[in-house]
Amino acid sequence: MTENEFDKLWQQAEVEGYSQRLVAEYPGWRRKQQRTISMVAASLAVVVLVVLVLVAQLQQPQDFEKVYCNRVGTTDAQWASLAAEILME
Amino acid sequence: MKRLLVILMLLLPVAAMAQSELYKQYASQEDLAVAQVSGFKLNETVRVDVVLVVADNEAAWNRLKEELDIRGEEGVNSWLGELKQPVKRVKWNGKTLLRVIASHARRTVGFYRIDNEEQYDALLDYQLNKMKK
């Protein structure tokens, strides 16, 4: 049974009230359900990631937008501070 | 999860594109700590991109000094340099160039990218105003 065929059957089962039986008897149902859950989870993860990035940007101090660095150990704010200090020397 | 990884893989080149050629040029050298501060705020309306290069040791600093023709042993050296060749000193001509400031005490060189007269003026005002305080 293709997914389209199953979808039609599912709609019919919902109308006629035998969807529970279909869940119990159709072996592909679980896989279909898992695929749907995976897609929803992946979409949610992307949304959460975007929100986190936006929140992080909003929380950054306003005196710089973004810092790229080739080392760990120095914070973005420290680099921005150095950019200001060099100008004042 | 695979889709998420694919999205992250697609985003990585976008981040790399935001890094300037100047940053990439120095970031690959092991004895230099390099940072690009994008959108460094000069005043309420003007921002510039800055690349900072900090030498780990005297040898790295001497190499930088030779490369950028930085003379002297103390204080700071400051000049306007060409975008592609910061070592070339130029006068303000309205074209994109770099304000280069080298601090001997910090073994640090700052490259402030100036694209227009507004940024040029704002950078000077920033220096003057901060020094007055």
pLDDT at B11 over 60: no
Mark out chain B residues that contact chain A at CB-CB < 8 A: 1, 3-4, 7, 15, 18-19, 23, 27-28, 32-41, 47, 50, 52, 54, 75-76, 101, 103, 105-106, 108, 110, 112, 123, 126-127, 130-131
A vs B: CB pairs below 8 A = 92
Q: How far is CA B23 from the centre of its chain?
A: 8
Q: Do B101 and A87 touch (CB under 8 A)?
A: yes
In angstroms, the CA A80 to CA A50 distance is 24
Residues of B in contact with A66 (CB under 8 A): 18, 37-39
Residues of A in contact with B18 (CB under 8 A): 66, 68
pLDDT at A21 over 70: yes
Which one has a higher pLDDT value, A31 or B43?
Answer: B43
Q: What is the mean pLDDT of residues B84-113?
A: 95
ipTM of model: 0.85
Pairing of strands B108-114, B47-55: antiparallel
pLDDT at B10 over 60: no
Which one has a higher pLDDT value, B77 or A36?
Answer: B77
- Inter-CA distances, A54 with A29, B6, B111, B117, Å: 38, 20, 28, 32
Number of domains, chain A: 1
pLDDT at A13 over 60: yes
pLDDT, tens only, B26-75: 999 999 999 999 999 999 999 999 999 999 999 999 999 999 999 988 88
Q: What is the pLDDT of residue B61?
A: 96
- Tokens 């690959």 locate to B28
Which one has a higher pLDDT value, A84 or A56?
Answer: A84
The sheet carrying B47-55 orders its strands as A66-69, B32-41, B47-55, B108-114, B97-103, B76-82
Residues of A in contact with B3 (CB under 8 A): 42, 46
Q: Residue A52 sits in which domain range?
A: 3-88
Q: What is the pLDDT of residue B122?
A: 95
Q: What percent of chain A has pLDDT over 90?
A: 38
Which secondary structure element, helix H or strand E, spans residue A5, and what is its range? helix A3-16
pLDDT, tens only, B99-128: 999 999 999 999 999 999 999 999 999 988
pLDDT at A31 over 80: no
In angstroms, the CA A81 to CA A88 distance is 11
Which one has a higher pLDDT value, B75 or A6?
Answer: B75
